[in-house]
Amino acid sequence: MTRAKPARLGPGAVAIGVLAMLGSALLGILVGSAGLGVGDVVLALLDGLPFVELNHGLTDIELSVLYEIRLPRVALGAIVGAVLAGAGAAYQGVFRNPLADPYLLGVAAGAGLGATVAFAWLGDGDLVPILAFVGGLGSVALTYMLGRSVGGRSVTSLILAGVAVAAFATAVQTFVLQRNVETLREVYSWILGRLTTVGWNEVLGLLPYAVVSLAVIFASRRLLDVLSLGDEEALALGVTVSRVRAVVVIAATLATAAAVAASGLIGFVGIIVPHTVRLLFGWSYRIIVPLSILFGAAFLMTADIAARTLVAPAELPIGVVTAFLGAPFFVLVLRTMRGPE
Amino acid sequence: MITWQSVEVVFGTARVLGPISIHVSDGEWVGLIGPNGSGKSTLLRTALGLVEHSGTVSFSNGGGNSGTAAAWMPQRPRLPEAMGVADYVMLGRTPHIGYLGAESRRDVARVDDAMTTLAINELAHRPLSTLSGGEAQRTVLARALAQESRVLLLDEPTASLDIGHAIDVLEVVDRLRHDEGLTVITAVHDLTLAGRFADRLILLGDGVVHADGQVRDVLTEENLSAHYGTGVRVVHDDAGPVVIPSRSKR
């Protein structure tokens, strides 16, 4: 008799994800203007562990390049990538829409507006993270309320509300920019996305939000599969759909807003990564959520290597790299979708 | 036992159901009949808490819409195409698994039982999109059985089945009802089929009960022509009433 074994995340898939992550992390640490040898770097990293004493050939300057410049940047890329991909998977599950991501729901546009206001009106770069955060959360709340008031529980009305909110936020942002052209350059460098770090500040600021939010999303992965039956059937199975949706959306939005505040607007990660995982490893969110987190980290670290090397010694904004890959991918997804569900 | 007490559903200014008061006893099979739009599905959905209504729907085991009081087989279930049959049936165990929990061995065993009952073991790993209409119907019913509820609410369980498969599925339901003492409420379009399996029929029209009782008392030409138009005749064989279409004379 064929036993009913549920769709599970295989150890092989996890191993591939972990290897991809470690590989791109190591590559990310090695690539840069100050050439560090791979053996020395590995030895130096192991030497940094407690109770381990190893001889490595790095000078003090090279060590501080490693610990204060390369590592924080790679770590920020990993966390931002994991958050954007994990949040994308969560939005897609909760809204049953393969194209749902932070952009569609207005989070990114709202955060962009907040940042622009900080730069242009308040002239204070330090306020950028806070106002981006407020703008992102505000937009999602507005999207949610608009969607509910227009179409009740309908998913389509929510997405359309997100488009309207994003368009409005972008319009206000453009207006603010036109009135303050002298800040254009600064704002655009942020809007295009960047993984610049000052020591470990950005990483430590983002880490708590990322850990808590991803833990909540991870814990909800089984219920995301139940939601794929539609709201009514999930309700009839005893799932409090509105509560699950609210919890997951708040977690995903919190993490996204924190990531946007730390690194600007980096698009398409939330679509590219979960979709590739779904195609390669399976339909279940028990598989998609954890693997999207691993591969999201690997993807953004790799994209950052491209951003740093393609036009060296200059740097491409990382948002340009991801958009370059993501826009064609988006079209591909649209083409393979079998019409609206 | 399940009781509808003065249940009424109003959309805007239009009353689509009620006021309705019905009592269904444990182990009973009630067939809901009535023309399209008469409120059969809506009546079932009030029991699941899926539509806002006044009045109350209560189960003898106290459950409301927790997912354990009643299992629902919707008329048009959403079947995620890539999902496997066994995974789909496992979703029926959702009310028995906590937020952070995972399936226990008992859950896996219940899913196996449900798939065996409906003879879909061979399909366990097939994606839902590859199933025929009959296979899909049995899969959805297996999910409802895996829920282990005392009440089965089946909305058109035989809609996409040929007559042979329709009887097979309803026989399975009937066996479960006898073996495990389940209460069954079905909305069925085929009046003869409804009469063959149900103990009791309730005829709905425009959202209210027009007839409620034994099959032979409800399936009368008088009742049916009042709600389905005139082209209906009722004859009787050993097993009860047979409803046949007969075109009105020109």
Q: Tens digit of pLDDT for each residue in A223-274?
A: 999 999 998 999 999 999 989 988 998 899 888 888 888 888 888 899 889 9
| pLDDT at res. A153 | 61
Structure confidence at residue B250 (pLDDT): 52
At what angle are helices A201-219 and A241-263 packed, to 10 degrees? 160
With 0-12 CB in 10 A as exposed, 13-18 as middle and 19+ as buried, what is A152? exposed
Is pLDDT above 80 for A3?
no
pLDDT for position A1: 45
Q: Would you place residue B152 in the very low, low, confident or very high pLDDT band (cuts 50, 70, 90)? A: very high
**Is the pLDDT confidence value at A341 over 50?**
no
What pTM does this model have? 0.88
In a domain, A256, yes or no: yes
For residue A154, give how far its alpha carbon lies from the nearest alpha carbon of chain B (Å): 14
Mean pLDDT of B79-108: 90
A-chain residues near B115 (CB < 8 A): 4
Report the percent of chain B where pLDDT is more than 90: 52
Q: Is the pLDDT of residue A134 over 90?
A: no
Q: Is B104 on the interface with A (CB under 8 A)?
A: no
- Note whether A236 contacts B65, CB cutoff 8 Å: yes
Q: Is the pLDDT of residue A25 over 80?
A: yes
The per-residue pLDDT for A337 is 62
B-chain residue closest to A153, CA distance = B50
> Does residue B111 register a pLDDT over 90?
yes
- Calculate the alpha carbon distances from B221 to B95, B197, B236 in Å: 43, 20, 11
Residues of B in contact with A338 (CB under 8 A): 81
The answer to whether B95 contacts A237, with C-beta atoms less than 8 Å apart, is: yes
Pairwise pLDDT comparison (B126 vs A337), residue with the higher score? B126
Contact call for B99 and A237, based on CB within 8 A: no
In the prediction, which pLDDT does A340 show?
A: 44
Choose from B41, B75, B78 for mutation: most chain A CBs within 10 A. Answer: B78
Residue B134 contacts A where some CB pair is shorter than 8 Å: no
Domain with A87 in it: 58-334
A contact test, residue of B94, B141, B155, B185 with most A CBs within 10 A: B94
Residue of chain B minimizing CA distance to A3: B112
In a domain, A281, yes or no: yes
Quote the pLDDT of residue B129. Answer: 92
Q: Which residues of A lie closer than 8 Å to B, measured between beta carbons? A: 1-7, 219-220, 222-223, 225-226, 228-230, 232-239, 282-284, 338, 341
**Bridge partner residues of A205 (DSSP):** none
Which strand (E) or helix (H) includes residue A296?
A: helix A285-309
Q: What is the mean pLDDT of chain B?
A: 89
Q: Using pLDDT thresholds of 50, 70 and 90, give the confidence band for residue A33.
A: low
Task: Tell me which residue in A4, A223, A225 faces B115 most closely, judged by beta carbons.
Answer: A4
- pLDDT reading at A314 higher than 80: yes
A interface test, pick of B44, B68, B87 with most A CB neighbours within 10 Å: B87
Residue A20 resides in a domain: no
Task: Output the pLDDT for position A54.
Answer: 75
A338 pLDDT above the threshold of 80: no
Supply the pLDDT for residue A151: 67
Instruction: Work out the minimum CA distance from A293 to partner chain B, whole angstroms.
Output: 19
The pLDDT value given to residue A4: 47
Domain membership of residue A328 (yes or no) is: yes
The chain-wide mean pLDDT, for chain A, equals 85
User: What confidence tens digit (pLDDT) does each residue in A72-115 have?
Assistant: 999 999 999 999 999 999 999 988 877 777 777 888 888 888 88
The 10 Å CB-count burial string (b at 16+, else e) for A171-209 is ebbeebbeebeebeebbeebbbbbbebeeeebbeebbeb
Give the model confidence (pLDDT) of A268-294 as tens digits: 899 889 989 998 898 899 999 999 999
Residue A143 included in any domain? yes
Q: Is residue A118 part of a domain?
A: yes
- Residues in CB range of B23: below 8 A, 6 or more apart: B1, B2, B3, B4
- Report whether pLDDT(A339) > 50: no
| Higher-scoring residue by pLDDT: B21, B226 | B21
- Domains, chain B: 1-69+149-250 (3.40.50.300), 77-148 (no CATH)
User: pLDDT at position B197, please?
Assistant: 93
Report the domain count for chain A.
1
- The answer, for B115 touching chain A at a CB cutoff of 8 Å, is yes
The partner residue sitting opposite B80, judged by closest CB among A236, A283, A338, is A283
Which residues neighbour B162 within 8 Å (Cβ) at sequence distance 6 or greater?
A: B134
What CATH number is associated with residue A203?
1.10.3470.10
Q: Is residue A98 part of a domain?
A: yes
**Residue A228: closest C-alpha in chain B:** B80
Q: Is residue A126 part of a domain?
A: yes
CB contact (8 A) between residue A6 and residue B116: no
The answer to whether residue B105 neighbours chain A at the CB level (below 8 Å) is no
Q: What is the pLDDT of residue B31?
A: 95
